Amino acid sequence: MTYYANFWLTVGAAAPVIALAGVVGITKSFKAVERLDSIWVKAEEPSWWRMGGPYFKAVALAAVVFGLGFINLLTQAVALFIALDSLAYNSNSVSPVIPLIILPVGIVVVAMSVMLAVVLATTVREAETAIREKEKHTQVARPSPKAASQPDKATSQSDDAALPTAAKPGSSTAAAEPADHTRPQRRPGRK
């Protein structure tokens, strides 16, 4: 079999680039899962809820991306080793068909990892949206602590009107007569 140095140089240059692309995909997928994990922590979701829905889907996708990336890394390392061995001894250490299979498979694996990373990013966005919607519903159902500590002015005024004159807060009248609600109350200082 004829020895082609340029072929092995090309294999030796392409293998690390393909492996690096796979490593970048792994890193991005784990950052997305970390971001999703921080979303769940902020939302104070119970841990059992994580087993369903977007969190589980994201972790499963990240595991697949990691597995594909690790296999890609190993195969590209083998391709680099074969190329360097062939260049070192000025002969084909294996058939050139093997790197011709390994390199395109690595490119396909990187493409699959990119597609899965897009799905993973979509899953993280879905989770963020679900958490925001849940927070909105929780805020509507439960008033904020500040609003609960301040009484409603309209309610407190109508409650004061129903009290007898002597029982009204700030009333100086000592009479225990009930207020006459049939006619409008006069303001002090008016005739």
What is the tens place of the pLDDT at every residue in 64-123?
Answer: 888 898 999 999 999 999 999 999 999 999 999 999 999 999 999 999 988 888 888 888
Domain assignment present for residue 178? The answer is: no
pTM assigned to the model:
0.61
Domain assignment present for residue 187? The answer is: no
Tokens 């439960």, residue located: 142
pLDDT at residue 62 above 80? yes
Structural domain boundaries, residue 69: 5-144
Domain assignment present for residue 21? The answer is: yes
Q: How many domains does the chain have?
A: 1
What value does the CA radius of gyration of the chain take, rounded to a whole number of Å? Answer: 36
* 7-43 core/surface letters (b: 16 or more CB in 10 A; e: else): bbeebbebbeebbebbeebbebbeebbeebeebbeeb
